[in-house]
Structure 1
Amino acid sequence: MSTSPKMSSSLKNELSSSEFEVEAQSLQLQAQRQSNTRLINVVHGGRIALTVLALAAGITVLGVSANSLMVYHQTYLPSDFYLPLWPSQFDLRPTAALIAGGVVVTVTNIVSLLFSKIQALRSLTGPHAIASLAAPAAAFIASLVAMSLFYAANASSTTDNLQSWTCRWNDVPMTMQPHFGTLCKQNQAGVVLSVLLVPLEAAILAVAGYQAVLERQATKA
């Protein structure tokens, strides 16, 4: 039984139409994947930029707070000396809280950047995802705890700390350490940056979570 030319032409048209639909779906899927990849790269770049900013802030907080504490220890004299530079009752806990928070923020953001920039570490999907979320979470908690401890210890109206004492005497001209004016500015900068680190680390955590969702969707696609 021979196939009529009309039926053969119709069959060819159906096959061509089916191939065209498959090719169109394939191109659409490919375009969607490329769009998702571009979005992931943009989000990843934004997270890296925020992480670098947080790292710089953490290093600054750590540096100015540690320097203030070092100057205090270098210039401290017991109360039996004449004209001591520092009071006998002094609270170092606010400065210690800023130093501890700065250490955690610095270390966690370095770990996050290492897993994001070094290809050998980034290819480890599980550890990379954990580091991307755990690092900003730990930094956010550390920043929040550091600020809570700082303001709790700084609430005393009877005992001075590095910030209150140095800023009280910041107008006194000094040609040698401890330079109260400089220490006052350093302490104020450390406090301001520590406050800013809380929303900054929260933003990094939110962006990292969004990136993790996008990467999971891209894997399933």
Structure 2
Amino acid sequence: MEDTTQVPDQKPEFTSDFEEFETRDAGYEKRQRLARVVESVRFGLTVLALLAGLTILGTSADTLSVYNKTRSGSDFIISLWPAEFDIRPTTALIVCSAIIFLTSTIALVGMKVPTIRNNPFTHSTISFAAPTICLIAALIGTSFFYGVNASNTVNSLKSWSCQWSDISMNVQPHWGQLCKESKTALYLTVMCIPVEVLVLATTAWGTMSVNRPLVITERKGSPAMS
């Protein structure tokens, strides 16, 4: 008997050698997401610099205030502070930290205020000028501190207070506290240097990324039957 079973016709298979590509909208969305991440990083670093500047300002101002109160007091028979004494490092930290705090505040305002953000020239100027000013201020404050501390004949608030930090006193100056405050101010100032470098780097990267033209991959090939 003849086999009448019908074999179903096989549909022709189509293969395509189309290359995948990103549309302009997809590329733009990807770039926008990356720009938001970079902006968030820059915002966080700027907030860190602002808080560091505020802390440096507070600790340095307190140590200088204690020095001014106790350098000529009549409660002690002998002077608590040496004749050869240099307060320029502490004064420099106060001035530089105030600059860092105020400039970082301006930078944060520039990031969040729509009027400034929508003005490319103003926004770009603030974005680059603010971390540059903060970086210069941090370098100046650090150089003053280490320059005076390198001297073997002239003392600073940090070197003198840390020298007597093991001595406990019931009244001001509390050497241990002054030493800790001086170290905190110095270390935070040093920390501001790489922080501001990173802020500048993220700003430059973000600017180049936004200005770089989108590259769209064109379709190649055509579907083929197999």
The bucket for the TM-score relative to the shorter chain is: 0.7 to 0.9
Code of the aligned partner of 1:180: W
**Structure 2 residue runs without a partner (length 5+):** 1-19, 217-226
1:134 aligns with 2:129: yes
CA-CA distance at 1:217 after TM superposition: 2.9
Q: Say yes or no: does 1:95 pair with 2:72.
A: no
Moved over 3 A (4+): none
Match of 1:145 among 123, 133, 140: 140
Q: Is the 1:116–1:122 Cα contact (8 Å) retained in structure 2?
A: yes
TM-score normalised by structure 2 residue count: 0.80
Higher relative contact order (Cα pairs below 8 Å, separated by 6+ residues): 2
Match of 2:203 in 1: 208
Shift of 1:121: 2.1
- Percent identical pairs in the alignment equals 38
Superposed, which structure 2 residues align to 1:14-25 within 5 Å?
Answer: none
Is structure 2 residue 145 aligned with structure 1 residue 158? no
| Superposed displacement of residue 78, structure 1 | 7.1
Aligned match of 1:124: 119
**Deviation readout 1:48-73 (Å, 9 max, x if unpaired):** 00111111111111111111111111
Checking the alignment, whether the CA contact within 8 Å between 2:35 and 2:206 is kept in structure 1 is yes
Equivalent-residue separation in structure 2 for 1:174 and 1:106 (angstroms): 33
Of 119-128 and 132-141, deviating more is 119-128
Normalised to the residue count of structure 1, the TM-score between the two structures is 0.82
SS across alignment from 2:153: coil
> CA 1:101–1:155 in 2, change beyond 3 Å: closer, same or farther?
same
Aligned 8 A contact 2:71 2:80 in 1: yes
Letter in 2 for 1:71: V
| Contact 2:85–2:156 (Cα < 8 Å) also in 1 | yes
> Whose helix fraction is larger, Structure 1's or Structure 2's?
1
Q: Is the 8 A contact 1:59 1:106 kept in 2?
A: yes
2:69 corresponds, among 74, 86, 91, to 74
Deviation per CA, 1:11-62: give whole Å up to 9, x if none.
xxxxxxxxxxxxx98x800111111111111100010001111111111111
CA distance in 2, matches of 1:117, 1:28: 30
Match of 2:23, SS state, is helix
Q: How many residues align?
A: 196
RMSD: 2.2
Quote the Cα distance in structure 1 between the aligned partners of 2:213 and 2:180.
48
Which residue in the other structure is 1:40 paired with?
Answer: 35
Q: Look up the equivalent residue of 2:160 and give its one-letter code.
A: W
The CA distance in 2 between the partners of 1:116 and 1:185, in whole Å, is 34
Alpha-carbon distance, 1:218 to partner: 6.5
In the alignment, which residue of structure 2 is the partner of 1:50?
Answer: 45
CA distance in 1: counterparts of 2:58 and 2:213, whole angstroms:
41
